Amino acid sequence: MEGDWYNDKNEVLGEVLLDAATIRMRVQELGALITKDYRGKNPHLIGILKGASVFHADLVRAIDLVVSVDFIAVGSYGTSTKSSGEVRILKDLDESVEGKDVLLVEDILDTGLTLSYLLQILESRGPRSLKVVALLNKPSRRIIEVPAEYIGFEIPDHFVVGYGLDFNQRYRNLPDITVLKVDPGES
C-alpha cells in the first residue's frame, strides 16, 4: 500500500469514526480529570503495548502531576481482526507496582478478556490502587465485565485502526480513528 491511505483506491479504510481534533480534546479532558482525582499522588501509568502507545504518550503529557510510566505487552489477535480469546504476556513490567497508584492505559476495551487477565495479574502484585483508562469502549463485544474508571469514547462494533490501533501492524500512525472496511491482505 502506497500513497494517501485515506484515498486508497483499494478502499481499505472506511469512515473516520473519531478525528484527530476530537481525540486530542478528549485526551486533554481525561488528563484534567485524572489530575484532579490524583491530586497529592504520583500515578504510575502502565501502557499496554503496542496499541495504547500513542494514547499513553498523549495522556501522560495531559496529566499535570509527577507521574511514572511503564509498559506491558500482551497478545490476543495475531494477524486476525477477531480476538483469539487467548491472552499471553509478551513483555512484562520493568519495575514493581507494589504500593503504587496504578493506571492501566488501554487502547480499546472490547471483549474484556485482556483487561480481566491483566487486572488479575497486576492486583496480585500489590498496588495501592489499580484503575483502568481506556480510550475506546466497545460494550457490544463484552464477554467479561471489567471496571473502567476513565473512558474516552464509546464506539459501535467496528474494527478500527489509527491513533495507535493497527491491523497486522499497519495504520497505527493514522491521526484519526478509522473503520477498517477490507482485509488489507485481500486488496
We report the CATH number of the domain holding residue 42 as 3.40.50.2020
Structural domains in the chain (count): 1
Q: Is residue 92 part of a domain?
A: yes
Note the pLDDT of residue 88. 84
Q: Which residues are catalytic?
A: 110
* SS3 state of residue 35: helix
Backbone φ and ψ for 105, nearest 5 degrees, come out as: -100, 115
Q: Is residue 62 part of a domain?
A: yes
Provide the domain limits for residue 44. 19-155
Q: Is residue 183 part of a domain?
A: no
What is the distance between the alpha carbons of residues 76 and 131, in angstroms, rounded to a whole number? Answer: 21
Note the pLDDT of residue 76. 65
Q: Is residue 130 part of a domain?
A: yes
| Closest to 77 measured CA to CA, from 187, 159, 180, 173 | 159
Note the pLDDT of residue 106. 97
Q: Is residue 66 part of a domain?
A: yes
Q: Is residue 168 part of a domain?
A: no
pLDDT by residue for the chain (187 residues), tens only, comes to 445 544 553 468 889 999 999 999 999 999 999 999 999 999 999 999 999 999 999 999 999 999 999 999 987 655 555 555 677 899 999 999 999 999 999 999 999 999 999 999 999 999 999 999 999 999 999 999 999 999 999 999 999 999 999 998 889 999 999 999 865 445 4
Note the pLDDT of residue 137. 97
Q: Is residue 137 part of a domain?
A: yes
Give pLDDT tens digits for 47-97. 999 999 999 999 999 999 999 999 999 876 555 555 556 778 999 999 999
Q: Is residue 171 part of a domain?
A: no
